Structure 1
Amino acid sequence: MYALKQSQRIFRTAVSQRRLLTISASPRIANTLPGKITQFIEDNANRSKPRNIHVCDGSENEFNVIMSKLMEDGMARNLPKYDNCYLVQTDPRDVARVESRTFISTTRKDDVVPHGQNPGVGVLPNWMSLSDLDNIVNERFHNCMNGRTMYVIPFSMGPVGSKYSKIGIQLTDSPYVVASMRTMTRMGEAALDHVDPDDFVRCLHSVGDPIVPGKPVNKWPCNPEKTIIAHKPETNEIISFGSGYGGNSLLGKKCLALRLGSYMAREQGWLAEHMLILGVTSPHSSKKRYIAAAFPSACGKTNLAMLTPKLPGYKVECVGDDIAWLHFDNKTGQLRAINPENGFFGVAPGTNASTNPVAMKTIFNDTVFTNVASTADGGVWWEGMEPTNQKITDWKGQEWNPKSGTLAAHPNSRFTSPATNCPILDERWEDAEGVPIDAILFGGRRPEGIPLVYETFNWDHSVFVGTTMRSEATAAAEFKGKTVMNDPFAMRPFVGYNMGQYFQHWLQFGQQPGLKLPKVFHVNWFRKDAQNKFMWPGFGDNIRVLDWILKRIENNNSADAVSTPVGLVPTRDSFNLNGLDNINWEELFRIDRPFWTEEVGSLRKYLNDNIGSDLPKELTEQLNQLEARIKA
């Protein structure tokens, strides 16, 4: 960073282990950095011993210098086929969330771990005592930044200045994290203008791979054997060590926006959720409706958020594709949502001009690609993308042979693109008050038994449907294969406190007078037939499901529905199938009682084993009612 340091004013010095430690920043930041932030920096610099420190301003010039540094170190390379795009390929051991090494640390274990009767492998959240975490931090972070620069990243989650946004300060020794945080958050001087010195989230991250003279320097620095991602919600702290990838290191994303965010939301009376937000305008109504939807990672959130409708006259606009912070406004009781993020960290494989043309128009400028394959003409490629006659180099840097049986791109490979690239970005995406939410969707990958769409009966049933979400495991998580995982509210890896208390937090909104509760639906694009083929075309045809949902929202349920044991499903006459051939309507909506009997048994075991006495009685009653309806 010598060029950067020469162009900026040295505003402070500190002595660390008899060495002169220089801290560089723009003059404006130097003059406004609050004392408690400076103390946070100094305390961690004294422990981790970086070579120098740079306070980020979020400028384009700074980004360009950072990318030059990444290319100089062999961590990134330019993609000349596109405008300002780069390719990064990580260590193969550092490619996904590390759920088994992700912890919530609090004074009381009961505040994090439910009293399940027989908790199993993969149950989250994991708890760690404060003293054990302190010992781990002191051991791992001692001298961990030797030879590296500590970057100080001020960032806002949510529109800058909104009363619903949160400010964080992240310390990191990864320039890749700096580049990615600039895209994914509102980073730099604007965030510092709104920081409360007594109320900011302290985020500490290191790749855990100090540069030692005489020791080879890793192209992708990481320390998988000692990786840990920890959260201290009682003091608004996040600590991450050993991984340089995604949500493990971009601490504003899953760590702040969901794990700490969900804890803050419970304390302050709102919701932090793993949800996309989209606006839909129907040709039958001039009023735009906003929908939030919770799906597990790699289950189609980005595709739905950027939907290209196949029904004429419909318009879909994107507010966000991954996380929503929701609150009921004090004036009218309307549920509103902001997108705390500033960009897209989307799964690349399967994205193409047919499945998501909007994404393909979003990602080929100002984007960092991670773990995709590259082409000889300076472009990128992944499974599901249009064929190319170019020679392909796989995500590990090896020449790829399509007949090899290996994948060219990692299944969890990503693109990191600014939200402003999106051609259908909603005009209110940065509305400080949030957009009004009229419906919430839950869903996942369920190849068997679950109908295309159904509406819940009431609020308690809505919370039950969110609680009992299940989905095939995807490449975003550690779990492999096609195992169906229980994933309540698509938040299993992301809830920052006791899951039973989380369910109760959702339930209590139904008991508050004056709130305009949204309608709630469950969707499943992934049901398969006896030949293992998808029964629903999905993608742009999913507007047909939204069409029915909007009719249920408007005009006093103008679309007909019929009651089934699991919920209200559309009648065939109320659902627009014009232009679709070979849709087996009866099978798509069939409620197979043996399947659902087994489902009820699996859900009861999961909830008893993992939530136990912390399960709210309302949800036990809902499970009993479902079982009775199945048997009737």
Structure 2
Amino acid sequence: MVNMEVFPESLRGRLSSSMLSKLNQLNNNYLVTFLSSIVELCEPDSVYLVEGTGEDLEYVKRRALENGEEIPLRNRNHTIHFDHPLDQARAREDTFILSGKIPFVNTKPKEEGLKEVLGILKGSMRNREMFVGFYSLGPVNSKHRILAVQVTDSAYVIHSELMLYRSAFKEFRGNVNFLRFVHSKGTQDIKKRRIAIDLDGTVYSVNTTYAGNSVGLKKLALRLTLNMAVKEGWLSEHMAIIGIDGERTHYITASFPSGSGKTSTSMLGKLISDDLAFIRNVEGSPRAWNPESGVFGIIHGINSRDDPIIWEVLHQNDEVIFSNVLLKPDGTVYWEGSGEPEPEKGVNFAGEWWKGKKDENGKPIPASHPNARFTVRLTSFRNLDPRYEDPKGVEVEAMIFGVKDYNTLVPIAEAFDWGHGVITMGASMESARTSAVLGKSDEMEFNPMALLDFISVSLGKYLSNYLDFGKRLSKTPRIYSANYFLKDEKGFLNSKEDKRVWLRWIADRLEGKADSIRTPIGYIPTYDDLFRLFSQVLGKGYSRESYEAQFTIRLKGYKEKFKRIKDIYLSIEDTPSEVIEILDRQLLEIDKSMRKFGERVTPSQLE
């Protein structure tokens, strides 16, 4: 029998006796205080505690269908979700860190920001059910896991989280600490969309349903865990974790801005993570964990030829939530770039759609949004590494920092050392903006470590922690830059499948099987090694002409890039002097080569 008197009246009136019994068993006063405060703020009609059981999943899915947040598809395990036409991507202009000013980050004074977002959240769940999810970021049995609670009035959000994260209700026994995420659909008034991040451990999100703004444990949690990591001396990164095979499996991480090759890269090896990584120093070894257990991926351009594993996942009977693709009349879906014929008509995020439909400005409306997504569990992928749940993590031997750069960076290059890689490859990233953020696509923007949208501390503090992290390791990972999008006047210089060769070259480098050429910007592959690897990996030839075009160092472009980057870091007060010293050495190397070779230098000239 539950003693009702131990619970505040706000909870007693909204939780069933069975739910109160569950809460009572946890004996967590921090949790009760938090939930009662949110109930009083948002005023839901009822509260449902989601333990993560099969029964919970069926209930949440049913509620999502009943309230219209999801629509059933012909495959009984597939559903589709539509966001507001103006709520299709991360909302930079409406997302704030509640703190003093931080360069390149939207901030608001904490008192002002809390007053605003709490005012909008007040009463936002009236006549609605509130769901409470309990999760572990990282394997539940890992001593490095981080507990988190999501509160939302969206069955779609909690359904997504049940697919993307590890349920951990029983781990909340006793007064354990946890991160807190509060979300309400609100009235869908985009002018009052707000995402407020209190670095004390709470995120508030309202008037949005796009998962990047509403599923708290994803990129909203990244702001909190990154702040924790900088304070505690570890890394919380926007990185995939992949096992690539050579004589043995080598685990690497890969950081790319959204839409620039990260998910496709993660499918080329043994999958542990497609998006996020916690990296800690464990007895001198860098070890990584995936805080997630699912994938929220961009679907635009996914096709059977280039992405066979993802294509298979999206067409089998495992559970999938599609978002902002086209719902066809036959109950199946279509998305741009799928390689399938474009339908004549259907329903998408903007309502009824037909081929040739235009908006009020005469611009064609695509069948699916460029940032349309799919949500699936990691266990749906046949290339899932069995160590994805290893509580001890996997040892990281290499890190890739990749960009979408049409004009300058070579396809693959290895840094001279940890500091050189962190600063000239990671901290110097510039990439074409993608549809994952609101704004004009393909504009080049500064995006260090593909983290600028998620940074919650000064870049100076962040880079200081990064450099120091490597110095404390007994063996630092090798660092690589990658660029799958280099062009010349004739178009792209690589095919999509070439990235398989770049990854194999990394494995060969780790095993001492591949040579390199020293260039002003790092080490690049030799022609002989790539000729061998293109044959072994892709079964095709590789011409010297292609090699020279791909790996000619565009010295002028690199110099201009590093001058821009240096100016940025000089403008940040707490940039470590080591950052500027590394950039100065890099610029000296480039200047030396330019005096000798001019604006470009070919591999043949350096061999």
Q: Same fold (TM over 0.5)?
A: yes
In 2, Cα distance between the equivalents of 1:439 and 1:11? 54
Tell me the residue number matched to 1:231: 197
Q: Which residue does 1:434 correspond to in 2?
A: 393
CA contact (8 A) 1:10 1:24 kept: no
Query: 2:175 is matched with which residue?
Result: 197
SS in structure 2 opposite 1:344? strand
Q: What corresponds to 2:605 in structure 1?
A: none
Of 326, 334, 348, which residue of structure 1 is paired with 2:299?
348
Q: 1:274 to 1:135 in 2, by over 3 A?
A: same
- Give 1:391 deviation, angstroms: 4.5
1:157 aligned residue: 137
Sort the Cα spacing of 1:270 and 1:195 in 2 relative to 1 into closer, same or farther, 3 A: farther
Q: 1:328 aligns with which of 281, 284, 297?
A: 281
Kept after mapping to 1: 8 A contact 2:233/2:469: no
Q: Are 1:276 and 2:265 counterparts?
A: no
In the alignment, which residue of structure 2 is the partner of 1:474? 434
- Given the superposition, is the C-alpha separation of residues 545 and 11 from structure 1 closer, same or farther in structure 2, using an over 3 Å criterion? farther
1:141-220 residue pairs with structure 2 within 5 A?
A: 141-187=121-167, 190-194=168-172, 197-209=175-187
Number of the residue aligned with 1:413: 372
Work out whether residues 344 and 419 of structure 1, in 8 Å CA contact, stay in contact via their aligned partners in 2: yes
Indicate conservation of the 8 Å contact 1:54/1:152, yes or no. yes
What secondary structure, in the 3-state scheme, does the structure 2 residue paired with 1:432 have? coil
> 1:25: how far off?
5.0
Asked whether the 8 Å contact 2:343–2:355 carries over to 1, the reply is: no
Distance in 1 between residues matched to 2:310 and 2:475, nearest whole Å? 33
Give the drift of 1:390. Answer: 5.2
Structure 2 match to 1:259: 223
**Matched residue, 1:625:** 585
CA distance in 1, matches of 2:258, 2:465: 23
Aligned to 1:94: 87
| Partner SS state of residue 140, structure 1 | helix
Give the secondary-structure state (helix, strand or coil) at the position aligned to 1:203.
Answer: strand
Which structure has the highest helix share of the two? 2
Corresponding residue number in structure 1 for 2:97: 104
- The answer as to 2:419 corresponding to 1:460 is yes
Provide the residue aligned with 2:336 in structure 1.
Answer: 383
Query: How far did 1:23 drift?
Result: 4.4
- Structure 2 partner of 1:219: none
Q: 1:72-105: CA deviations, max 9, x gaps?
A: 222221111x241100111101111111222222
Shift of 1:11: 7.5
Which amino acid in 1 is paired with 2:56?
Answer: E
* Cα distance in 1 between the residues matched to 2:519 and 2:484: 19
- The letter for the 2-side match of 1:562 is I
- In structure 2, the residue corresponding to 1:244 is in which secondary structure? coil
Alpha-carbon offset, residue 601 of structure 1: 2.7
| 1:297 aligns with one of 258, 261, 269 | 258
Name the structure 2 match of 1:523.
Answer: 482
* Structure 2 match to 1:213: none
Paired residue type of 1:251: G
- SS at structure 2 position matched to 1:584: helix
* 1:100 partner amino acid: E
What SS does the aligned partner of 1:429 have? Answer: helix
Q: Structure 1 length as normaliser, TM-score?
A: 0.87
Equivalent AA in structure 2 for residue 263 of structure 1: N
Is the aligned partner of 1:400 residue 2:354?
yes
Instruction: Say if 1:24 and 1:231 are closer, same or farther in 2 by CA, change over 3 A.
Output: farther
SS at match of 1:179: helix
- State the 1:16 CA deviation: 4.9
| 1:22-171 equivalent positions in 2, closer than 5 A | 22-23=15-16, 25-26=18-19, 29-33=22-26, 34-80=28-74, 82-106=75-99, 109=100, 113-114=102-103, 123-124=104-105, 126-171=106-151
Q: Which position in structure 1 is the counterpart of 2:595?
A: none
The farther-off stretch of 392-401 and 362-371 is 392-401
Counterpart CA distance in 2 for 1:255 and 1:380 is: 29
TM-score normalised according to structure 2 size: 0.90
Q: Choose from 396, 399, 409 the match for 1:450.
A: 409
Matches of 2:16 and 2:209, distance apart in 1: 23
Q: Which structure 2 residues correspond to residues 446-595 of structure 1 after superposition, within 5 A?
A: 446-464=405-423, 465-512=425-472, 514-531=473-490, 533-539=491-497, 541-555=498-512, 558-575=513-530, 576-578=533-535, 579-580=540-541, 584-595=546-557
Please say if residues 29 and 57 of structure 1, whose CA atoms lie closer than 8 Å, have aligned partners that are also in contact.
Answer: no
For 1:389 and 1:560, how far apart are their aligned partners in 2?
A: 47
Residue by residue, what CA displacement relative to the aligned partner does 1:562-618 show, whole Å, maximum 9, x if unpaired? 111111111101222321456621111111222223222322333334xx2221111
Q: Decide whether the 8 Å contact of 1:375 with 1:391 is kept in 2.
A: no
| 3-state SS of 1:67 partner | helix
For the structure 1 residues 75 and 299, does the alpha-carbon distance in structure 2 shift closer, same or farther, using more than 3 Å as the test? Answer: same
- Distance in 1 (CA, whole Å) between partners of 2:290 and 2:274 is 8
Q: Residue deviations 1:333-355, cap 9 Å, x none?
A: 11111000010000011111112
Could you say if the C-alpha distance between residues 458 and 318 of structure 1 is closer, same or farther in structure 2, counting changes exceeding 3 Å?
A: same
Matched, 1:339 2:300: no
Structure 1: 5+ residue runs without aligned partners?
Answer: 1-8, 115-122, 210-221, 308-315
Aligned to 2:14: 21
Q: CA RMSD in A?
A: 2.2
Secondary structure of residue in 2 paired with 1:428 = helix
Paired amino acid for 2:577: K
- Between the aligned partners of 1:361 and 1:62, the Cα distance in structure 2 is 27
What code does the residue aligned with 1:447 have? Y
Does the aligned pair in 2 maintain the 1:273–1:323 contact within 8 Å?
A: yes
- Amino acid of the structure 2 residue aligned with 1:94: D
Residues 388 and 484 (structure 1), Cα distance of their counterparts in 2 relative to 1, 3 Å cut: same
C-alpha distance in 2 between matches for 1:560 and 1:472: 31
CA contact (8 A) 2:125 2:184 kept: yes
The answer on whether the counterparts of 2:260 and 2:404 sit within 8 Å (CA) in structure 1 is yes
Q: Is the 8 A contact 1:23 1:55 kept in 2?
A: no
User: Cα–Cα, structure 1 residues 334 and 248, in superposed 2: closer, same or farther, change >3 Å?
Assistant: same
Q: Which has the higher contact order (CA 8 A, sep 6+)?
A: 1
Distance in 1 of aligned mates of 2:510 and 2:579: 25
Partner SS state of residue 322, structure 2 = strand
Q: Which AA in structure 2 matches 1:230?
A: A
Residue 402 to residue 553, structure 1, CA distance change in 2 (3 Å): farther
- Any conservation in 2 of the 1:105–1:230 contact (CA below 8 Å)? yes
CA distance in 2, matches of 1:469, 1:545: 19
Count of aligned positions? 573
**Cα distance between partner residues in 1 of 2:328 and 2:3:** 42
